[in-house]
């Protein structure tokens, strides 16, 4: 995997470990479904594997609709490496907007924002993520992390649209 390759290069001194800039990704997509349906689907942790292709497991505490303080814990694969991240809801609203931030024991230091806006044809969803790696992920070059994060966001939104519009 890319992770093992970079780790080998770092251990031999071919790559220096350094601070990574914060990666910022944002993407929007229109989904031909009502806003309430889209937001409820996004908030259903039991269905997240349907639109997050690298997700291995997900839990939510407390169960039910998210509110400020709700914790979502994820185990997933990123660049061939198993990652564990816990996101806590920091803000909700106005309207159909939710902001999450990772806890200090997560693989990445991240803030994610999901915003849904009603359109004449359904819902415009915008996902924005600001993240910087922690631990071993810092060994991976920034450009590789940026590309992987961008590709993952694209794949997630494409699957989200496919799943919701197939209903």
Give residue-wise pLDDT tens across range 115-155: 999 999 999 999 999 988 888 788 888 888 888 889 989 99
**Number of neighbouring beta carbons within 10 Å of residue 97:** 15
Give the model confidence (pLDDT) of 5-61 as tens digits.
334 434 444 444 444 567 889 999 999 999 999 999 999 999 999 999 899 999 999
Q: What's the pLDDT score for residue 20?
A: 53
pLDDT score of 21: 65
Q: What is the DSSP letter of 65?
A: S
Cβ atoms of 86 and 110 closer than 8 Å: no
User: Does the pLDDT of residue 65 top 60, yes or no?
Assistant: yes
Between CA 127 and CA 107 the distance in angstroms is: 20
Q: What angle do CA 130, 131, 133 make, to 5 degrees?
A: 170
Query: CA 88, 90, 94, 97: dihedral to nearest 10 degrees?
Result: -40
The model carries a pTM of 0.80
Q: Give me the pLDDT at residue 148, please.
A: 86
pLDDT over threshold 50, residue 90: yes
pLDDT at residue 62 greater than cutoff 80:
yes
Average of per-residue pLDDT across 64-85: 92
Residue 167 Cα distances to 34, 64, 121, 162, angstroms: 12, 22, 16, 9
Tens of pLDDT, residue by residue over 94-113, are 779 999 999 999 988 999 99
Mean pLDDT of 66-81: 92
């Amino acid at each position: 995997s890319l992770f093992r390759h970079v780790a080998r290069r770092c251990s031999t001194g071919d790559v220096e470990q350094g601070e990574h800039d914060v990666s910022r990704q944002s993407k929007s997509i229109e989904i031909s479904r009502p806003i309430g349906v889209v937001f409820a689907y996004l908030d259903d942790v039991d269905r997240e594997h349907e639109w997050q292709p690298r997700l291995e497991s997900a839990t939510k505490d407390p169960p039910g609709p998210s509110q400020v303080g709700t914790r979502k814990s994820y185990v997933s694969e990123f660049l061939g490496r198993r990652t564990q991240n816990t996101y806590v809801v920091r803000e909700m609203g106005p309207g159909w907007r939710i902001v999450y931030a990772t806890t200090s024991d997560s693989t990445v230091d991240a803030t994610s924002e999901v915003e849904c806006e009603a359109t004449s044809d359904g819902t415009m969803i915008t996902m924005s993520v600001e993240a910087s790696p922690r631990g071993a992920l810092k060994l991976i070059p920034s450009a590789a992390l940026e590309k992987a994060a961008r590709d993952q966001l694209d794949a997630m939104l494409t699957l989200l649209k496919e799943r919701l519009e197939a209903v």
